[in-house]
């Protein structure tokens, strides 16, 4: 049976791995990158605490020992449902089962200036771009004679108070007090503010009240200016406009405020639901299709009684849906009944800074904060990395950063020459 | 005294380090990158055996604890000798002493098609570009149905039989027999040839006859097609043209065949000598200037009796000239006589493949090859890396590559979207 998986993130990779070695399936994994990466840590690449290679791994190496899984570098342009073919920018592939595991992409809610001028935080390339841009702007600030102008280079505005927004603000707050002072003596008397802006009335909205409050308190203590019930409305002429009428002079708007799924040509319009996510049944089959499935952030499943509005777009849902679908494909082959998907919530966590994190566990319902939560965060993230190599280098980098209170990865490598700094 | 150093390679960095901490000197180091890198290992970045960060280090971190050395990101546009000012793309700086340590750049000998279509191997950005390009071409080859067309993607032509050319051909020969077979099953029956082309009658021209012969023999045994007394004359329509009339169908011409120094506006034309290198006296002062110096690959010094045609453009000359100049600046302050530069040749070496290298030592005159030479090469290169961190990560990567016979860094990261693959 020809299985074609589009997208090698948490969902796609887990499906492929669980089908690997089973001769009944001839699996092709399509991705527009030649590597899998670990999104929870891209903010550490963006802030030069980890190398891109520490959180990514080439697909071809991942499947070099499994004969029934092949990799194909390509971007899906459309689906030909009548002929069971998927059309790529560089060819086409036939399928018996097609699976969309294409994740989500940054949503700017139609704000064209924000799209053009802000820094997204969704892909590994985004992270490298952010690292290069911010380092270049620091250099510009260091030779800037006008203090008003200089402040625009140094002020940081982070939109979106989810884990990414919280983690990146905490990281910047720590760098401001350490690295910046040591390595940019030219800027020692300059003011730089870090703003974290969120439309809701709490940070980390899906977490417990207690985690939200601990996080707000910790970030405020570190000097981050948190603005709740507040949205970015425009970003033009180096000025961030908020819906409260306030403006912040800054060249650096980091956009972690929303995601949206992608529409694929050839798929029935009725297959798409809220946020462009594909409507799927309890077995992740896409509505109005016969042999097309969707797993992870790109689908929405309204059949799980505990989650009447659909599951949160998090790694655990994607992983579990990938594994469940693999099981169902195997069950189908054996003539066994299929398993309806049921999400097993293992909890959620966010890191705020050195020695500080918050963790919520659902069963038994528990909350951790501070050093113990921070250790839990480190351990879980380290163990979730895809290979032994990535775990070793990440661990080494973290130890270096922790004990030397510093990191030496602040190289501007392959800056985009077309971009203005 | 205001010391302005242009270029933070081997020469510039050694001068800056030896002046660091001496309050008589106010040093500014200018570079167009914000990091120092280790050129002898860029071929390992290009072949995905090392990460860029393992062989590079940010200048600001390097000098974060030395108050009298400041870093300035910028490109030198011209020199105003009358006013003792150097003009950058983003401002200008005054100097009492100006030092050019700007190295050399790739020389295409006027062949415009070669410049446009070949892959250079001089900078860290070149190396990342090469990695991305070759990986993209492998992907293209893997979906190419036409075997003649596929061969163009897979054939590699390396121009220049110096250490870089030798090392990169050896690396490719090993990858072809290992990684390629495992990770690109689609290509298992395809032919890919590796050609190493050099205009001279031996590889590694400055090394001993014995090293040259050992190298030729080892590469030939590994399947590299070595063509001596042979030059590339054109590279067009995916075809490499040689002066022998022969043509090789290939999209991949790696250019390591020559370097040339750079001309700076405002410098007297008479200051430049052979290969655009600045003529310097025994103290590295540039001819026809009062307070401008030049060290490393970018200068030519005809005053060293042992080297009547000038020194070879190698790391050791650059390092020793940087150190000697620092000493002379200090001597000058103390009213002591200046030291004429004398090159102390510590020998030369090249790695050919796993367990294989050649090493020539001058005093006592000795030659090593095979495993012992390979260990010497590894040790010397490891110890020459700039920081403890770089040594650890490089060592770890080498061990991984050696024992697992593989490496997992083959990610296409930040490909240049403008480039055709």
Q: Cβ-count burial of A146 within 10 angstroms (0-12 exposed, 13-18 middle, 19+ buried)?
A: exposed
Quick one: pLDDT at residue B419?
43
Which residues of chain A have a CB within 8 Å of the CB of B60? 183-184, 410
Which residues of chain B have a CB within 8 Å of the CB of A51? 51, 53
Please, what are the domains in chain A?
2-106+260-334 (3.50.50.60), 112-259+355-404 (3.50.50.100)
Say which of B34, B125, B414 has its CB closest to residue A135: B34
Report the C-alpha gap between A62 and B13 in whole angstroms: 40
Tell me if A411 and B67 make a contact (CB, 8 A cut-off). no
Give the model confidence (pLDDT) of B187-235 as tens digits: 988 888 999 999 999 999 889 999 999 999 999 999 999 999 999 999 9
Tell me if A408 and B57 make a contact (CB, 8 A cut-off). yes
Residue B415: is its pLDDT beyond 80?
no
**Minimal C-alpha gap between A274 and chain B (Å):** 32
Choose among A41, A14, A316: nearest CA to A168: A41
CA nearest to B49 within chain A: A53
Coil, strand or helix at A253: strand
Q: Which pLDDT band holds residue B363 (cuts at 50, 70, 90)?
A: confident
CA nearest to A395 within chain B: B393
Residues in Cβ contact with A141 at an 8 Å cutoff, skipping those fewer than 6 apart: A150, A153, A154, A184, A187, A190
Q: Which pLDDT band holds residue B82 (cuts at 50, 70, 90)?
A: very high
Residues in Cβ contact with A61 at an 8 Å cutoff, skipping those fewer than 6 apart: B183, B406, B408, B410
The widest CA-to-CA distance across chain B, in whole angstroms, is 74
Quick one: pLDDT at residue A388?
77
Residue B168: is its pLDDT beyond 70?
yes
- Contact present, A353 and A218 (Cβ < 8 Å): yes
Mean pLDDT calculated for residue range B288-299: 97
Beta strands in B81-223 (DSSP E): 85-88, 91-94, 97-100, 105-106, 119-120, 156-159, 194-197
Give the model confidence (pLDDT) of A398-419 as tens digits: 887 777 666 677 888 766 554 4
Tokens of B268: 């007297």
Tell me if B411 and A35 make a contact (CB, 8 A cut-off). yes
Tokens of A282: 């309890």
Q: Which pLDDT band holds residue B417 (cuts at 50, 70, 90)?
A: low
Residues in Cβ contact with A254 at an 8 Å cutoff, skipping those fewer than 6 apart: A118, A119, A121, A130, A156, A157, A158, A159, A165, A168
Tell me if B413 and A73 make a contact (CB, 8 A cut-off). no
Residue B418: is its pLDDT beyond 50?
no
Q: What is the DSSP letter of A74?
A: -
Tell me if A53 and B411 make a contact (CB, 8 A cut-off). yes
Tell me if B51 and A51 make a contact (CB, 8 A cut-off). yes
CA nearest to B399 within chain A: A389
The pairing of beta strand B2-6 with beta strand B97-100: parallel
Say which of B58, B143, B406 has its CB closest to residue A408: B58
- Contact present, B19 and B63 (Cβ < 8 Å): no
Chain centre to alpha carbon of residue A363: 26
Chain centre to alpha carbon of residue A347: 17
Phi–psi pair at A186, nearest 5 degrees: -60, -25
Tokens of B231: 């030059």
Interface probe for B, chosen from A33, A45, A183, A397 (most Cβ of B below 10 Å), is A183
Size of interface A-B (CB pairs under 8 A): 115
Question: What burial letters (b/e) apply to B53-73, b meaning 16+ CB within 10 Å?
Answer: bbbbbbbbbbbbeeebbbbbb
Which residues of chain B have a CB within 8 Å of the CB of A64? 182-183
Tell me if B184 and A51 make a contact (CB, 8 A cut-off). no
Tokens of A364: 């038994």
Say which of A61, A139, A182 has its CB closest to residue B73: A139
Tell me if B53 and A125 make a contact (CB, 8 A cut-off). no
Which residues of chain A have a CB within 8 Å of the CB of B413? 35, 52, 56, 124-125, 128
The percentage of chain B sitting over the pLDDT mark of 90, rounded to a whole number, equals: 80
Quick one: pLDDT at residue A420?
41
The CA-CA-CA angle for residues B109, B265, B310, to 5°, reads 55
Residue B106: is its pLDDT beyond 90?
yes
Report the C-alpha gap between A279 and A105 in whole angstroms: 17
Report the C-alpha gap between A6 and A12 in whole angstroms: 7
Chain centre to alpha carbon of residue A16: 20
Give the model confidence (pLDDT) of B113-148 as tens digits: 999 999 999 999 999 999 999 999 999 999 999 999
**Minimal C-alpha gap between A344 and chain B (Å):** 32
Bin A91: left if φ > 0, else alpha if -120 < ψ < 50, else beta: left
Give the model confidence (pLDDT) of B248-269 as tens digits: 999 999 999 989 999 999 999 9
Tell me if A406 and B61 make a contact (CB, 8 A cut-off). yes
Q: Cβ-count burial of B388 within 10 angstroms (0-12 exposed, 13-18 middle, 19+ buried)?
A: exposed
| Mean model confidence pLDDT for chain B | 92
**Minimal C-alpha gap between B125 and chain A (Å):** 6
Say which of B61, B409, B410 has its CB closest to residue A183: B61
Tokens of A299: 């689908």
Coil, strand or helix at B200: coil
- Within 13 Å of residue B259, how many CA atoms lie on the same side as its CB? 19
The pairing of beta strand B76-80 with beta strand B85-88: antiparallel
Give the model confidence (pLDDT) of A111-152 as tens digits: 999 999 999 999 999 999 999 999 999 999 999 999 999 999
Tell me if A53 and B409 make a contact (CB, 8 A cut-off). yes
Tokens of A401: 């950063």
Tell me if B411 and A52 make a contact (CB, 8 A cut-off). yes
Quick one: pLDDT at residue A194?
97
**Minimal C-alpha gap between A164 and chain B (Å):** 21
Give the model confidence (pLDDT) of B90-105 as tens digits: 999 999 999 999 999 9
Quick one: pLDDT at residue B420?
41
**Minimal C-alpha gap between B160 and chain A (Å):** 25
Give the model confidence (pLDDT) of B4-16 as tens digits: 999 999 999 999 9
- Contact present, A391 and A380 (Cβ < 8 Å): no
Q: What is the DSSP letter of B285?
A: B
Report the C-alpha gap between B373 and B294 in whole angstroms: 34
Residues in Cβ contact with B65 at an 8 Å cutoff, skipping those fewer than 6 apart: A182
- Contact present, B350 and B357 (Cβ < 8 Å): yes
**Minimal C-alpha gap between B388 and chain A (Å):** 11
Quote ipTM for the complex.
Answer: 0.88
Tell me if A186 and B125 make a contact (CB, 8 A cut-off). no
Q: Which residues of chain A have pLDDT under 70?
A: 404-407, 414-421
CA nearest to B54 within chain A: A409
- Contact present, B196 and B225 (Cβ < 8 Å): yes
Quick one: pLDDT at residue B421?
38
Tell me if A35 and B125 make a contact (CB, 8 A cut-off). no
**Minimal C-alpha gap between A363 and chain B (Å):** 38
């Amino acid at each position: 049976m020809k299985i074609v998986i589009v997208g090698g993130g948490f969902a796609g990779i887990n499906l492929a791995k669980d089908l690997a070695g089973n001769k009944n399936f001839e699996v092709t994994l399509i991705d527009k990158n030649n590597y899998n990466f670990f999104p929870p840590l891209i903010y550490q690449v963006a802030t030069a605490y980890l190398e891109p290679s520490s959180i990514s791994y080439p697909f071809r190496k991942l499947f070099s020992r499994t004969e029934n899984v092949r990799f194909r570098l390509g971007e899906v342009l459309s689906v030909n449902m009548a002929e069971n073919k998927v059309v790529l920018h560089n060819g086409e592939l036939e399928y018996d089962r097609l699976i969309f595991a294409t994740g989500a992409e940054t949503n700017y809610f139609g704000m064209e200036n924000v799209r053009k001028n802000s820094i997204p935080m969704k892909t590994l390339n985004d992270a490298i771009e952010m690292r290069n841009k911010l380092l270049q702007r620091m250099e510009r600030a260091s030779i800037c004679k006008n203090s008003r102008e200089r402040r625009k280079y140094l002020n940081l505005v982070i939109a979106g108070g989810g884990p990414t927004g919280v983690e990146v603000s905490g990281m910047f707050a720590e760098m401001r007090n350490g690295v910046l002072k040591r390595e940019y003596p030219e800027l020692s008397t300059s003011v730089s503010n870090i703003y974290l802006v969120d439309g809701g009335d709490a940070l980390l909205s899906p977490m417990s009240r207690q985690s939200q409050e601990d996080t707000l308190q910790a970030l405020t203590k570190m000097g981050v200016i948190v603005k709740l019930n507040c949205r970015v409305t425009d970003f033009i002429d180096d000025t961030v406009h908020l819906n409260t009428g306030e403006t912040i002079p800054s060249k650096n708007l980091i956009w972690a405020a929303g995601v949206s799924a992608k529409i694929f040509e050839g798929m029935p319009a009725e297959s798409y639901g809220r946020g462009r996510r594909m409507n799927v049944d309890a077995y992740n089959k896409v509505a109005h299709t016969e042999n097309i499935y969707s797993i992870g952030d790109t689908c929405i499943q309204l059949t799980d009684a505990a989650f009447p509005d659909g599951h949160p777009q998090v790694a655990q849902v994607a992983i579990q849906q990938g594994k469940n679908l693999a099981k169902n494909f195997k069950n189908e082959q054996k003539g066994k009944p299929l398993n309806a998907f049921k999400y097993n919530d293992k909890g959620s966590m966010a890191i705020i800074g050195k020695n500080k994190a918050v963790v919520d566990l659902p069963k038994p319902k528990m909350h951790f904060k501070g050093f113990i939560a921070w250790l839990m965060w480190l351990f879980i993230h380290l163990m979730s990395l895809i290979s032994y190599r990535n775990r070793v280098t990440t661990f080494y980098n973290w130890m270096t950063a922790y004990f030397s209170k510093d990191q030496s990865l602040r190289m501007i490598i392959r800056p985009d020459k077309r971009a203005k700094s």
